[in-house]
Structure 1
Amino acid sequence: MTTLSGVTTDEEVLDVLERLRAGGDNPSAFLALNSGNGYFTDPATDGVVAYREAGSYLLQFGGVHAPPDQRETLLRAFLDHARRRRRKVVAVQVLSPDVDLFVRCGFTVNQIGSSYSVHLPDFALRGSRFMKLRNKISRARRSGLEVTEVPYGECAAEIDGIDGAWLRSKGRHVKEIEFLVGELGGPAQHARRLMLGRLDGKPVAYISYSPAYGSRPGWLHDLSRRLPDAPPGVMEAINLTALERFREEEAEWLHFGFTPFTGLSAEHDPAGAGKATRKIIRLLADRGDTIYPAASQLAYKEKWGPQLVLPEYVAFHGRARLGAIWQILRVTKSV
């Protein structure tokens, strides 16, 4: 299976889902199923590469989704595919265990952000560090908030209403970020979990969770929206309801996913990392909140006391190029 970006059938998406279940180890791997992605497979492996085409680049998402002993074969096959199409490859959200693989295959690799995860068996809201969080959740519950898990098909219209109000509240020029965040609907919707918050029967907020496979299995907190006038603590109360349910089901991890431009450290960069790229990423971290809401995302994730914070990387085949960074920003609709 080799598909152009955005040209996929339901059967191909479900085949990709099975490949992610079998060989995916990135907690955000499920986002590879987002509409608009293309997929590359090779007969010699059981894995898949998800990507989007942007200008002269193929933007690869989440590294290589394959069993460890097949990743290099698949990555090199994808590079051959890109070379035949006269495209350059840039990979985003590459994890630490795959950095050496990408370097070995001719990539320049830099840290671009971090991901945050909670180990559910060890999680508790006790102690002074969680006092503000407990108070916000109590306030939301006292307001009459009811949280239920619902099938998307039964509340799609209400979800669309929340999305529309949320987007309008951001201003007329703000676009909804894509590619690195979750979505709803499509042939893989049955694998997601949707928690909906209601006040007096009216839907006011929701959080969607996607399955996480591999060495840290559990769930990914991948998409959330609220009405602008929803009371404080609504999102936290919805997430706590989901967290407690996942723990009862003996899930291991709740992943809050990747946030660009956070947790940056030169110590995380491998030898040969691009110095100019490091400066650009640091500049975006310091001044780029209008491009990507990293600060607000980080504040929400840190309030849950994540026990695991891991660096994630961007990898440029060959030397790093400013044009490639621009294409990443454009595809995610950050600019």
Structure 2
Amino acid sequence: MSQVSDRSPASEEISQAALAAVQKHAENPSAFLALNAGNQLFIGDGGELVAYREAGRFFVQFGGVFGPRDRQAVVLREFRQHARARRRRIVGIQLQRADAELYAAEGFTLNQVGSSYAVHIPRFTLRGSRFMKLRNKISRARRGGLRVAEVAFAEHRDGVRAIDAAWLRGKGRHVKEIEFLIGETGGPVQQYRRLFLGTLEDRPVAYVSYAPAYGSRPGWLHDLSRRLPDAPPGVMEAINASALEAFSRERAEWLHFGFTPFTGLEASHELTPSSALTGKFLRLLAEKGGAVYPAASQLAYKQKWGPQLVLPEYLAFEGGASPGAVWRLLRVTKSV
């Protein structure tokens, strides 16, 4: 029988089933975010996972069904029954192309919402004129005394939390921390993440948290990254360069930079059925939506590493797209 978890202490068995589903079946490089503490978990009879959050009349689902390909349609139908029994409609976010095709076949309306970016580590190099500015930025930070080390979160919790608080204050008093589409630090699955911390004179000034990525392009997801507002230029680049060096020594395959909304939108990526109105709205956000989501700055950071892989990602609407569903999606991520 399918199970639902609200992350209560009694749901530990369900949480372990969710972790196993991601490790065994997830093709989405951001799949580890499905295990965030704020998510609700729907577990199919065969251990398949659907992660979601409730937002008004909607269940906002993250990343498709994590399970064997021949079970995904069945579990999606079960999840739709679960939602219908609670008078909720489903909005899917961050679906990969194969997920989107499945949802389209099940009657959902699809629109491309953005793209994800990745570097193939065995082919990666900072040599050449293309990366001159990036190399200079990294060298400047290191010459300025920045030290980067992989550390245990439990031993540096206070420093990380201090960076988080200062980072959020630096964004302005009315800015809320974006959730659901990014990872977290701490919690029951922290042991699977890796934390690279940058310090100046032993003072923590920035960090990047990396989550594991599974599937046919395994490796690491460049996930949560924060810096003090007064940290010097180049600290984030230097931290990521150090992590890339470590991943390369370990012969990791891919460094995924994850999903950026409202980027890489192409008419050729759209599926049938799609919503012309939603597509127009998303393109408007791509052009003028900097106040909603910092897509331009995120994209610039990802592109400076020369990603070899760019993949479209999709929204899926049960029963047709609507401005209300898009609004609820923005609200559940705290983008507005």
Under TM normalisation by the shorter chain, which class is it?
over 0.9
1:40 is aligned to: 42
Distance 1:327 1:303 in 2: 32
Distance 1:14 1:5 in 2: 14
Displacement after TM superposition at 1:10 (Å) = 3.8
**1:319 lines up with 2:320 in the alignment:** yes
1:262 is aligned to: 263
Q: Secondary structure at the match of 2:145?
A: coil
**Would the aligned equivalents of 2:108 and 2:273 in 1 still touch at CA under 8 Å?**
no
Q: What RMSD, in angstroms, separates the aligned Cα atoms of the two structures? A: 1.1
**Would the aligned equivalents of 1:5 and 1:52 in 2 still touch at CA under 8 Å?**
no
Per-residue CA shift, 1:9-65, capped at 9, x if unaligned?
34432321111101111100000011110111221x331000001111011101111
Letter in 2 for 1:261: F
1:187 is aligned to: 188
1:178 is aligned to: 179
1:145 is aligned to: 146
2:89 is aligned to: 88
Per-residue CA shift, 1:305-331, capped at 9, x if unaligned?
000000000000121011111111101
Per-residue CA shift, 1:56-90, capped at 9, x if unaligned?
10111011111212111111111111111111001
Runs of 4+ with >3 A deviation? 4-11
Q: Structure 1-normalised TM-score? A: 0.97
Q: Secondary structure at the match of 1:3?
A: strand
Q: Secondary structure at the match of 1:216?
A: coil
**Would the aligned equivalents of 1:193 and 1:210 in 2 still touch at CA under 8 Å?**
yes
Distance 1:14 1:41 in 2: 11
Distance 2:3 2:196 in 1: 35
Per-residue CA shift, 1:234-253, capped at 9, x if unaligned?
00000010011111111100
Of all paired residues, the percent bearing the same amino acid is 61
**1:274 lines up with 2:275 in the alignment:** yes
1:19 is aligned to: 21
Distance 2:77 2:248 in 1: 39
Gaps of 5+ in 2: none
> How many pairs does the alignment contain?
334
Q: Secondary structure at the match of 1:255?
A: strand
Q: Structure 2-normalised TM-score? A: 0.97
Q: Secondary structure at the match of 1:100?
A: helix
Letter in 2 for 1:226: R
2:212 is aligned to: 211
Distance 1:54 1:171 in 2: 25
Distance 1:10 1:125 in 2: 43
Gaps of 5+ in 1: none
